[in-house]
Amino acid sequence: MKLTFYKYQGTGNDFVMIDNRQQSFDKNNTKSIARLCDRRFGIGADGLILLENHPELNFKMVYFNADGNESSMCGNGGRCITAFANHLGIIESKASFEAVDGLHQAIIDDEIVKLQMQDVISVERHNQHVFLNTGSPHHVQMENNINELEIKTVGSKIRYGQPYNEAGTNVNFVKKLSEDIFKVRTYERGVEDETLSCGTGVTAVAIAMFETGETQSNLITLETEGGKLQVSFEKNDGIFSNIWLIGPAVQVFKGEISW
């Protein structure tokens, strides 16, 4: 059986995208999903995303990590599926869709997609790091030697260590470049390696930098290995709301693969 797929990327965070409105894709076949994401034996991607029908909204997003397991929210994936829905003619410039963490709004303008993220009601400040959930759990810590840091080695120790253990966390390393610009490198659980960009990760970094006083700006630029993203937000009564993740989402190619 031939499976038609699309490949999308958002600042180097890449995804296999499949139109599953006819429910023809086997979502329980973990090994096959992992094979599709494999960069040597499959298509190659940080994750796989299914676009499905929704009874009230424009569509539903179902996201799988590269290991084949369904995962928590993926911000760049949310931006890429919005671009995919536009390509399929499901939406024009605006979208409302459901993801694993709830309802999202999105706006598309050419190759730039703005995705509204969930409110953040809790930010845990520790001596050496900040922890918060932006749809996925994120550990955020400052690192001056960010360019030389062995992200996979250091990130995996934090990801599996105390207090995260089996559930694990994503790990973000940050260097301040100016008042409202920060460099970010991210170790992603499920991928179990550094990715070129992480949408929920840069969202977590932006909020963490504001919360810890590293910036006074509520529009922050994040420089990732795959390109630049921006995050805007408001803070009222201790709650971060009206959070938007902004950046490019691009179709790379369309193809078929034996399934």
What residues act catalytically? 74, 198
User: Distance (Å, rounded) from C-alpha 37 to C-alpha 40?
Assistant: 9
User: Distance (Å, rounded) from C-alpha 168 to C-alpha 119?
Assistant: 22
Q: If we measure between CA atoms, which residue out of 60, 37, 50 comes closest to residue 190? A: 37
The residue type at 81: I
Q: If we measure between CA atoms, which residue out of 120, 144, 78 comes closest to residue 243? A: 120
Whether 131 and 163 have beta carbons less than 8 Å apart is answered as: no
**∠ at Cα 163 (143, 199), nearest 5°?**
50
